Amino acid sequence: MAALHNRVSRKELKERILNDPTPRKTISFYCYFHIEAPNEFRDELYLKLKAFDVMGRIYLAHEGINAQISVPEIQLEAFRSYLYSIEPLNGLRLNVAVDDDGRSFYVLDIKVRNKIVADGISDPEFDMANRGKYVNAEEFNKLTADPDTLVIDMRNHYEFEVGHFENAVEIPSDTFREQLPMAVDMLGDQKERNVIMYCTGGIRCEKASAYMLHRGFKNVFHLEGGIINYTNQVKEKGLDNKFHGKNFVFDQRLGERITDEIISNCHQCGKPADTHVNCKNDACHLLFIQCDECREKMEQCCSQECLDFIHLPEEEQKQRRAGIDKGRNVFNKAKSRDIRK
């Protein structure tokens, strides 16, 4: 059976969702459980979710499912009932977005991968069943009030830059697979201390907690549901909020406003700013932070070179883009001199 997929262009799908007034909820969830036949599960899931008009990005692997989606509010209960009809997912926590306009996704992509989180772990002795202890928002606040507790951010450097927890330790990297060995190296002489790991929705810090235990750390915790669930619990229970700034998310929004604080700076002029954009030049698409003034001046481009490029005739742009592999093109410290010229 051929893989089911969208046949309408992404540009048209994006225009549809932007012009559709249907109220939608952005939701994320994950679960580590064994999937015997991911490709078959993928096609079944695609048909079911398409019927509910679900949009989003879902990764499947033998180790489980990782999903970030948007669902029409009118279909939310039907979607939940279907999801919970899958035995390992029955009662699964669904993280509801904090700052949501319902336009987070415009297409449904379900992909089968080797792992739902690319971790670079090849050790056959590693076991996800031996993972750290969950902590909720209240427990997180109590544990992090202890100066002997290490708070470890298991997100990429550009996520940490715009928002993070008080006293959090950054593991500076572009990818999760780089972070795991870096975290062990950075904290290697502190294996007896309490270590609390967190990420956006919980999937990375849960795996990281298992890896740290595997590498000999004794007291490892991870924030249940990540920053998203923490923020919702803080609001519901009236707790002190220890997260500052913005929570980066991997959809059209590129961020959820958690507090009014702006703790980062425009990568072009240095003014306070925390809005991520992708360079408008289709041959670049660099992910970087840009203030409103620079966005207007530079027309959402990261450099004068890219600004000049987008004003070339379209046919010439296509010719110059041919064969370019942008890969993971994100701003980092090594690129800072170039972008601020």
Catalytic residue positions?
A: 199
Same domain, 65 and 31: yes
Q: Which residues of the chain have pLDDT under 50?
A: 1-2, 333-341
**DSSP codes, 217-232:** -SEEEEETTHHHHHHH
What is the reported pLDDT for 11?
A: 62
Quickly list H helices, the chain.
Answer: 10-19, 38-51, 76-84, 137-144, 157-162, 176-187, 203-214, 226-237, 292-298, 304-310, 314-321, 336-339
Same domain, 108 and 141: no
What is the reported pLDDT for 332?
A: 60
Same domain, 32 and 81: yes
Residue type at 16 in one-letter notation = R
Contacts 24+ apart (CB under 8 A), 42-49: 42/3, 42/110, 42/111, 42/112, 43/1, 43/3, 43/4, 45/110, 46/4, 46/5, 46/108, 46/110, 47/4, 48/82, 49/79, 49/108, 49/110
Of 78, 112, 146, the position where a domain reaches its end is 112
| Domain extent for 312 | 276-339
Domain of residue 156, CATH code: 3.40.250.10
Structure tokens at 6: 């969208």
What is the reported pLDDT for 104?
A: 86
Exposed / middle / buried, residue 257 (Cβ in 10 Å: 0-12, 13-18, 19+): middle
Q: Does 127 reside within a domain? A: no
Same domain, 43 and 104: yes
Q: Could you give the dihedral angle defined by the CA atoms of residues 77, 82, 85 and 86, in that order, rounded to the nearest 10 degrees?
A: -130
Domain of residue 65, CATH code: 3.30.70.100
Q: CA-to-CA distance for 65 and 50, rounded, in angstroms? A: 17
Structure tokens at 177: 């697979």
Of 62, 77, 112, the position where a domain reaches its end is 112
Q: In total, how many domains does the chain have?
A: 3
Same domain, 303 and 211: no
Same domain, 102 and 137: no
- Tell me the per-residue pLDDT of 130-188, one tens digit each, with 9 for 90 and over: 999 999 999 999 999 999 999 999 999 999 999 999 999 999 888 899 999 999 999 98
Please list, in sequence order, all residues whose beta carbon lies within 8 angstroms of the beta carbon of residue 218, skipping any fewer than 6 positions away: 191, 192
What is the reported pLDDT for 2?
A: 44
What is the reported pLDDT for 77?
A: 97
- Contact present, 103 and 252 (Cβ < 8 Å): yes
What is the reported pLDDT for 258?
A: 96
Query: What pairing do the DSSP bridges indicate for beta strands 24-32 and 64-72?
Result: antiparallel
Of 66, 83, 112, the position where a domain reaches its end is 112
Q: CA-to-CA distance for 84 and 265, rounded, in angstroms? A: 43
What is the reported pLDDT for 329?
A: 63
Q: Does 319 reside within a domain? A: yes
What is the reported pLDDT for 1?
A: 41
Q: CA-to-CA distance for 297 and 2, rounded, in angstroms? A: 47
Same domain, 175 and 238: yes
Q: CA-to-CA distance for 316 and 289, rounded, in angstroms? A: 28
Q: Does 313 reside within a domain? A: yes
